[in-house]
Chain A
């Protein structure tokens, strides 16, 4: 039969003493570890999601930048052409320098952004690698269990040695103590198997799943990050290609316009010279014609006035002498 004796008091005192000790040495560290594990699994998932969002935003922003660069480049090209037509070689050089500067700025900005994103990807990879290390929680649980066993042992010992005083009083009390100890052991074993064991098993499964999810999330994030890097590389290349193409077109246009301008200038000079020469020639011919006309008219008048019959006879005579019929 169960009896209420001093042993119960000892047990209660032992429980009261053990409670703060266990609380400090076991419960709080365990809870802390659980919180950290949550941070490493759920937090990692959240970070992976954030990274995905950041990557998507970054891609959209860079695509926008690429379009803007293309539009800007086209506008710049038009401007270059118009200025080249309107102004000449110097203006074209300035436009080309502006285009090169703009291209360099965009390239620098792009490189900076790519470097920043690469750093963030590395950090995230580190965090995820730490999540992977959460597998080490398995070892922590074993440590906790050892601590738990160690902290529980004195109670068990204490429970097993609690009825020594009563043995002196009666031998039959020894049986009850053994039964009491056995009940305690059975109770602990039952509680261990039914509640704590299940909880620990469930907890272990949950942790494994969480770790798996974190691992998958990390892999997905890494894949996306890699894709993003590739895309960034392409975007950088595309922007570079667009700018290079515009630069080549601008240079070609410039060369053509300059060549045409030079040719036009040469033609204009030649035309001007030819026109001047033509005008001079025309004027000379006109002057010669006028002078000849005047001279011939004057000659006619002089001849009409001064031609004597003797002259006429001489002319007739000369003509007759020269008469030849072939």
Chain B
């Protein structure tokens, strides 16, 4: 529910951005605003607090927009979120916008998790394989997670391909507990 509402907000914004050809710029601005609110949670809470008059909160939004040098459409979008109490969905909106942005640009985000650094050849191979499978350009990013023990985890959009030893041990545990082993 929450995600679908966020997706609708993101779709509305990206349609406006598509008309002006500023899909990437708006996406960047939305992510910047969210990063600003993350770094200033009191500000974020104040803007979401209905105890404060809407006019005051809208005034504050204008100040934030001016400070972050946001475009007018994004500034108006923030104003709408304040009025409709949709500001609490900003993280989900930013995420949904990025996906829509990737869809439009023909890209797919791929995150690879590994307990040790992945070598470039392996990452390249992953990129090729996913690009071939999806027909989109895979944008591969890599992160380290020591808890995985061994192997790797590949996240493609909402799909997670878990080949870590940690997960294999967990699966084995479950099988033992189920009596399958």
Q: Give the residue name and chain of the A residue nearest to B122 (CB).
A: A316
Does A316 contact B151, Cβ atoms closer than 8 Å? Answer: yes
Does B173 contact A292, Cβ atoms closer than 8 Å? Answer: yes
Known contacts A292-B173, A300-B166; A307 and B154 CB within 8 A of each other: no
A289, A300, A315, A325: the one within 8 Å of B134 (CB): A325
**Complex CA distance for A311 and B156, rounded to whole angstroms:** 24
Report if A320 contacts B (CB, 8 A): yes
Q: How far is the CB of A323 from chain B (nearest CB, A)?
A: 5
Q: How far is the CB of A236 from chain B (nearest CB, A)?
A: 74
Q: What 1/0 flags go to B123-157 for Cβ under 8 Å of A?
A: 00110011001100000000000000111101010
Report if B39 contacts A (CB, 8 A): no
A293, A295, A312, A317: the one within 8 Å of B150 (CB): A312
Does B173 contact A300, Cβ atoms closer than 8 Å? Answer: no
Does B152 contact A319, Cβ atoms closer than 8 Å? Answer: yes
Q: How far is the CB of A310 from chain B (nearest CB, A)?
A: 11
Q: Give the residue name and chain of the B residue nearest to A299 (CB).
A: B169
Q: What 1/0 flags go to A283-316 for Cβ under 8 Å of B?
A: 0010011011101100110011001010111011
Does B151 contact A296, Cβ atoms closer than 8 Å? Answer: no
Known contacts A299-B169, A309-B116, A323-B161; A315 and B129 CB within 8 A of each other: no
B133, B163, B177: the one within 8 Å of A315 (CB): B163
Q: Give the residue name and chain of the B residue nearest to A285 (CB).
A: B177
Does A307 contact B173, Cβ atoms closer than 8 Å? Answer: no
- Chain B residues 107 to 127 lying within 8 A of chain A, measured CB to CB, are 114-116, 118-119, 122, 125-126
Interface size on A, residues (CB 8 A): 27
Report if A318 contacts B (CB, 8 A): yes
Report if A324 contacts B (CB, 8 A): yes
Report if A139 contacts B (CB, 8 A): no
Q: How far is the CB of A104 from chain B (nearest CB, A)?
A: 67
Interface size range on B against A: 20 to 34
Does A323 contact B129, Cβ atoms closer than 8 Å? Answer: yes
Residues of chain A lying within 8 A (CB to CB) of residue B179: 288
**Complex CA distance for A48 and B172, rounded to whole angstroms:** 108
Does A312 contact B156, Cβ atoms closer than 8 Å? Answer: no
Does A325 contact B156, Cβ atoms closer than 8 Å? Answer: yes
Report if A322 contacts B (CB, 8 A): yes
A288, A300, A316: the one within 8 Å of B152 (CB): A316
Residues of chain B lying within 8 A (CB to CB) of residue A322: 163
Does A315 contact B152, Cβ atoms closer than 8 Å? Answer: yes
Does A320 contact B166, Cβ atoms closer than 8 Å? Answer: no
**Complex CA distance for A78 and B172, rounded to whole angstroms:** 65
Q: How far is the CB of B180 from chain A (nearest CB, A)?
A: 11
Does A319 contact B163, Cβ atoms closer than 8 Å? Answer: yes
Known contacts A307-B165, A320-B126, A325-B134; A315 and B151 CB within 8 A of each other: yes
Does A296 contact B163, Cβ atoms closer than 8 Å? Answer: no
Residues of chain B lying within 8 A (CB to CB) of residue A288: 176-177, 179
Does A324 contact B149, Cβ atoms closer than 8 Å? Answer: no
**Complex CA distance for A320 and B124, rounded to whole angstroms:** 11
Residues of chain B lying within 8 A (CB to CB) of residue A311: 150
Report if B170 contacts A (CB, 8 A): yes
What are 7 A-B interface contacts by the 8 Å CB criterion?
Answer: A292-B173, A295-B176, A312-B116, A316-B122, A317-B122, A323-B130, A325-B134
- By a beta-carbon cutoff of 8 Å, the part of chain B in contact with chain A is 114-116, 118-119, 122, 125-126, 129-130, 133-134, 149-152, 154, 156, 159, 161, 163, 165-166, 169-170, 172-173, 176-177, 179
Ranked 3 nearest A-B pairs via Cβ: A319-B163, A325-B133, A315-B151
